[in-house]
Each structure stands twice: as structure tokens, then as C-alpha cells.
Amino acid sequence: MPGNPAGSTIRLIAAFMTAQIGIMQGSGTFAALLLNFIELWNLSKTDAGWINGIYYAGYLGAVPFLVSLADRAPPRRIFYASAILGIVSGLGFAIFAEGFWTAMLFRLLGGISIAGTYMPGLKLLSDHLEHHFPNYDHSRGVAFYTSGFGLGLSLSFFFSGIINDYWSWRLAFAISALGPLSAVIILHAFVAHPDPKASVVPQTHLLDFRPVLRRGQVMAYVLAYTVHNFELFAFRSWSVAFLAFAATAGPDPTAVTSFPLSPATIIAGAILIGPLGSVLGNELSRAIGRRLAISILMFGSAALAATFGFLAEQTYTLVVAVAVIYCVLQVSDSASITAGAIAGAPLGYRGATMAVHSCIGFMGSFGGPVVFGLILDLADPTGSGGTSVIAWGWAFVGVGLVVAMGPLFLFVLAREDRRSP
């Protein structure tokens, strides 16, 4: 790439980050309009849960194959094909969805689309950085790219709600299909061809992950990512309900109506600025070393979790302020964890490493909301989960204990004690 190297890296990373934001535009559409569909199609809560869940089932089922394939086939082709599937998902839902089964089909395709774009896109970015800018710290590229995931999801919720309010849910899904289309156009126009070719091709079969599973340095970050996701999705699943509870439990029981923003809007806004924490966390890793930085951030997040739930009886403004800080802090380690896993990947197994990272990490995403709800039920002295400060307090303590395991994984399993690469 000719010209100023710094400017070239900025353009490259910006192209991939923008493409990732585009890819995510259909990800939150159904969840944002969930109440509409429950009423429109007379869905039970279980039906709605299945339509939401099938998206992640499609992601999890496709990740081992599509992301590992990126070690053997051009990642750009995988990205383009999966983006097209995302277009089909959005347009298909807009045109053909009439109820439970058609919604399930097109949301399944959407999940598969994310599986074939998120990590393969990151591998393609890493390949370009390694080939064209071998002296560049790749972790910064990882930080900005992964922040596009959360930013894109937040924008998906935002635009879907607006389009539905002013026009219709079908138009919201149709417009969401423009996101994956824009991602293909951006990468084709702004990322140089040809792509770097793999210097080493794995000799094992496509789904043989043993070289990755045997590498302690990688698995340390994978397990740290798992507890990170446990915390992240527990918070995102229950934070709106907690703020609604805190608004009535505090000294001003009318806070939920008198406060200028609803609990859902507060959390959506906090999630929207969350990627800033990921970028700043990566800069801290560059300054003091990756494992130390992640450990500081995770222990800090664990400490905040251990106190957050017990704040429900304090002023609502204080609870909201701490919620926003906590939302940013809990994602501050995200990019550094992913960069650490990629940096430790066995030669020729970068895609397989990302597949393991995604699959095992997803288990935390599933477990967090479930365990949080279980603690709410068990810890509530009234037996009506989520109606007492003590129950919310202990539920968040449980989250804090889990995320505090992350630094232990990093220092017990990681075999190399080094500063961020």
C-alpha cells in the first residue's frame, strides 16, 4: 500500500470497522420489535424466545465450519457469501415472514451470516495488517474492528425502532438488508486486492481443533473471553429490569416516570458508548502489558459488580451513573482478550483459533443470563425473584465472582509472560 503507512492503516481499519457496523444492521431488528411481533402473530413468550435464540443457534452451529475454513479458503469469499446470506435474511423476513416458522427460518440465516462475517472479517483484517504493515501493533486494529460489533448492534436497535414507528416493521427489515450490502461494497472498494495468501496451510482436517486446544496461551484468553461474555450478557439481559426496580426501590418511587430517559434508553445509550471502553482498554494494554491490563480491568469490573446490585435503594441518578460506568468498564477488556487469543494462535491456525474463541466464549453468553435469573430466584426472601435489593445484590455478586476468574486463567494457563505484542 503506497503513501503514508499510518494513514494507510487508518483507512484499512476504518473500512473493516465500517463494514462490520453494516453487517450488524439486521442483528437487533427482531429483538427491538419483539413486543410488536408477540401481539401481531399472537406469539407465546416461548415462541418469541425461540425466534430470538435461533439466531444465536445459527451463529454457533456455523462458526466451527466457516471460521476454520478461513485458514484454507480466501476469507474474503467467505465474508462476501455470508454477507449475501445476511441480505437474504433481511429481505426474506421483510417480504415472506408471516409467523413463527418463517421468522425462524430467516433469523437462522441471519445468525449464519454473522458467523461467516465477524471472525472471518477479523482474520482478513489481521492478514492485511500482518502482510502490509508487519511492524504495526495489530491489537489496535482488533480493538476498532470488534467495537464495530457493539456499535452496529446498538444502531440496529435504534434505527429499527425509528423505522417501525414511522413506517412499518417490514420496511425496517428491508432497510437492514442494506447493511450487509454496504459491507461488501466497502471491502471491495477500499481493501486492496489481491488478499495475502496463507503462508502455512493446516495439515489437519477442517474441524480438528486439537492444535488450538493444546495451546495454553490461547486457551487462557478463550476462557477469559468466556467469563467476559458471562458478565456482558447477564448485564445486558437484566439491566433494564434492574433499573426499573431501582427506580421504585429508591427514595423517590416516581423516578421511573420523572427521570428524562427510560431504563431501556439508558442501557441502549450506555451500550452505544461502550466500544470507547474497548478501545481505551486496548491502549492500556499497549502501555502496561496485555495480561496486567486485562487483570486490572476484570478485577475492577468484578468489584463494581459486587456492589452495583446493592445500590438499588440509593438515588436513581446515582444508580444510572454507575450503570453507565459499569457498562463501559465491562467491555473495556474485550479487544485485548481477542487480540491475545489471535496473537497466540498456532501457525496456520488463526481461523481455527477464532472458531474456538467464538464457540467456547458463546457458552458464557448463554450461561450468564440463566445463572443470573437463577440467583435472583434463590436469593429473594419473598420467593418472587427480583423483588428485593438483597436478591439483585447477590445476583450481581455472582457475576462478579465469575468475571474475577478471568485473570486467574490468564496467569495459570498462559505460558508466556510478555508484554502486549
pLDDT tens readout for residues 224-257: 999 998 998 888 778 878 888 888 887 776 666 6
Q: Is residue 159 part of a domain?
A: yes
* Higher per-residue confidence, 232 vs 48: 232
Condensed to tens digits (0 to 9), the pLDDT of residues 321-380 reads 999 999 999 989 988 898 888 888 777 777 788 888 888 888 887 788 878 888 888 887
**Residue closest to 299 by CA, chosen among 258, 333, 347:** 333
Do 94 and 183 reside in the same domain of the chain?
Answer: yes
Q: Where are the beta strands (DSSP E) in 43-88?
A: none
270, 261 in Cβ contact below 8 A?
no
**Residue closest to 99 by CA, chosen among 160, 159, 48, 171:** 48
pLDDT at 180: 95
- CB atoms under 10 Å from CB of 46, counted, come to 7
Per the listing, cell 491489537 goes with 139
Give whole-number Cα distances, 341 to 125, 184, 257, 406, in Å. Answer: 15, 27, 45, 13
Average pLDDT over residues 386-408: 90
150, 118 in Cβ contact below 8 A?
no
Do 302 and 375 reside in the same domain of the chain?
Answer: yes
Q: How far is CA 177 from the centre of its chain?
A: 20
Average pLDDT over residues 48-62: 81
Confidence of residue 155 (pLDDT cuts 50, 70, 90): confident
Give whole-number Cα distances, 210 to 33, 143, 204, 327, in Å. Answer: 41, 27, 9, 35
- Give CA–CA dist 22/79, Å, rounded: 13
Does the pLDDT value for residue 87 go beyond 50?
yes
Q: Is residue 419 part of a domain?
A: no
Condensed to tens digits (0 to 9), the pLDDT of residues 403-416 reads 999 999 998 876 54
Average pLDDT over residues 307-325: 92
Q: Is residue 123 part of a domain?
A: yes
- Give CA–CA dist 236/241, Å, rounded: 10
Mean pLDDT (the chain) is 84
Do 122 and 231 reside in the same domain of the chain?
Answer: no
* Total domains in the fold of the chain: 2
Q: Is residue 13 part of a domain?
A: yes
pLDDT at 3: 47
Q: How far is CA 263 from the centre of its chain?
A: 21
pLDDT at 419: 41
Confidence of residue 400 (pLDDT cuts 50, 70, 90): very high
Contacts of 404 (CB under 8 A, 6+ apart): 298, 299, 302
What CATH number did the domain enclosing 335 receive?
1.20.1250.20
Average pLDDT over residues 287-311: 93
Q: Is residue 208 part of a domain?
A: no
Q: Dihedral of CA 267/236/14/342: which sign?
A: positive
Which range (52-56, 101-105, 298-302) has the least confidence?
52-56
**Residue closest to 392 by CA, chosen among 300, 297, 322:** 322
Average pLDDT over residues 287-301: 92
- Give CA–CA dist 376/381, Å, rounded: 10
- Give CA–CA dist 270/272, Å, rounded: 5
pLDDT at 191: 83
Do 395 and 293 reside in the same domain of the chain?
Answer: yes
Provide the domain limits for residue 253.
Answer: 213-413
- Report the amino acid identity of residue 377: D
Give whole-number Cα distances, 71 to 119, 124, 290, in Å. Answer: 11, 10, 26
3-state secondary structure of 378: helix
Average pLDDT over residues 89-110: 94
Which range (20-24, 80-84, 136-140, 278-282) has the least confidence?
136-140
Which range (5-19, 22-36, 43-57, 78-92) has the least confidence?
43-57
Confidence of residue 421 (pLDDT cuts 50, 70, 90): very low
C-alpha cell at 354: 477464532
Q: Is residue 328 part of a domain?
A: yes
163, 29 in Cβ contact below 8 A?
no
Do 218 and 110 reside in the same domain of the chain?
Answer: no
Do 274 and 181 reside in the same domain of the chain?
Answer: no
- Give CA–CA dist 280/282, Å, rounded: 5
The radius of gyration of the chain's CA atoms, rounded to the nearest angstrom, is: 21
Condensed to tens digits (0 to 9), the pLDDT of residues 115-127 reads 999 988 988 888 8
Q: Is residue 359 part of a domain?
A: yes
Which range (43-57, 302-316, 358-372) has the least confidence?
43-57
Do 169 and 219 reside in the same domain of the chain?
Answer: no
Do 178 and 61 reside in the same domain of the chain?
Answer: yes
Do 138 and 241 reside in the same domain of the chain?
Answer: no
Does the pLDDT value for residue 390 go beyond 80?
yes
C-alpha cell at 159: 434505527
Q: Is residue 19 part of a domain?
A: yes
Q: Which of 141, 174, 199 is the last residue of a domain?
A: 199
- Give CA–CA dist 100/44, Å, rounded: 10
Give the DSSP letter of residue 102. Answer: H
Burial 77-106 (b: 16+ CB within 10 A, else e): ebbbebbebbbbbbbbbbeebeebeebbbb
Average pLDDT over residues 62-76: 83
Does the pLDDT value for residue 13 go beyond 70?
yes
Give the DSSP letter of residue 305. Answer: H
Give the percent of the chain with pLDDT over 90.
31
* Higher per-residue confidence, 306 vs 151: 306
Confidence of residue 420 (pLDDT cuts 50, 70, 90): very low
Element at 36 (helix H, strand E): helix 34-40
